[in-house]
């Protein structure tokens, strides 16, 4: 019974970060593509919103920290990172993958154009977000190799994640295949809430540290 209650705590998050984006996508007047492109778009969209959810699945999330269940929020945060960061790293390849099944420009040429075309703000923001998420991946996996205190390393992770969130959200709004006004407003609200929540957490920690010094 206790295990079921833990899973029930995930329902609002699933609705907010998966259900609602899928509903907005289904109701949006977006040009429909081939089955392969639609599947890749939906997978990438879910991965993006899952990364937004990372800002809420923290050890300070009281919703998951009641009754000493901090480990639940930590595990969710970790698994989301491991799974969906890979999907986002594959995003450029998802874009050119349908070229293998379509006539026209070759997949290799399409990929080269994608990573070397800097005339579009959306593409530049996407490349920035890609570089930042690579940095997050490297510093997370090899955090023990860096001589950083735990708090310093965690704050570095948080601030770099904010940079990723801003670049990725702007990229999706600017160039995303599912960026209409309702979708853009929703992304801005969720992203702003996540950044506010993170900074509020760090502010409380600094206040508590000052009190104990």
Work out the mean pLDDT of the chain and round it to a whole number: 78
Please write the tens of the pLDDT for every residue from 102-143: 666 666 666 676 666 777 788 889 889 999 999 888 887 777
pLDDT at 1 over 50: no
Mean pLDDT throughout 49-56?
A: 86
pLDDT, residue 186, reads: 92
Query: Hey, how many other C-beta atoms are within 10 angstroms of the C-beta on 96?
Result: 18
**Selection from 86-90, 116-120, 156-160, 186-190 with the highest mean pLDDT:** 186-190
pLDDT, residue 165, reads: 92
Question: Distance between CA atoms of 192 and 175, rounded to whole angstroms?
Answer: 19
pLDDT, residue 110, reads: 66
Q: Which residue has the higher pLDDT, 53 or 30?
A: 53
Helices 35-53, 181-212: crossing angle, 10 deg rounding: 30
Smallest CA-to-CA distance from 169 within 146, 142, 140, 192 is with 192
Q: Which residue has the higher pLDDT, 43 or 106?
A: 43
Smallest CA-to-CA distance from 60 within 210, 209, 212, 203 is with 203
pLDDT at 64 over 60: no
Are 21 and 46 in contact, with CB atoms under 8 Å apart? yes
Please write the tens of the pLDDT for every residue from 142-152: 776 666 676 77
């Amino acid at each position: 019974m206790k295990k079921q209650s833990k899973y029930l705590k995930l329902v609002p998050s699933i609705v907010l970060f998966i259900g609602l984006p899928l509903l907005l996508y289904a109701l949006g007047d977006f040009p429909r593509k081939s089955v392969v492109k639609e599947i890749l778009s939906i997978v990438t969209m879910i991965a993006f919103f899952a990364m937004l959810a990372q800002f809420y699945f923290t050890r300070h999330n009281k919703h998951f920290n009641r009754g000493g269940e901090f480990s639940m929020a930590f595990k969710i945060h970790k698994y989301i990172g491991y799974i969906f960061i890979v999907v986002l790293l594959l995003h450029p390849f998802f874009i050119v993958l349908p070229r293998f099944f379509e006539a026209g420009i070759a997949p290799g040429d399409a990929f080269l154009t994608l990573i070397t075309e800097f005339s579009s703000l959306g593409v530049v923001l996407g490349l920035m977000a890609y570089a930042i998420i690579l940095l997050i991946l490297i510093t997370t996996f090899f955090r023990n190799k860096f001589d950083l205190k735990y708090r310093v390393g965690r704050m570095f992770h948080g601030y770099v994640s904010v940079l990723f969130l801003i670049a990725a959200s702007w990229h999706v709004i600017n160039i995303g295949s599912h960026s209409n006004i309702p979708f853009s407003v929703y992304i801005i609200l969720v992203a702003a809430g996540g950044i506010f929540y993170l900074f509020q957490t760090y502010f409380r920690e600094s206040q508590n540290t000052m009190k104990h010094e």
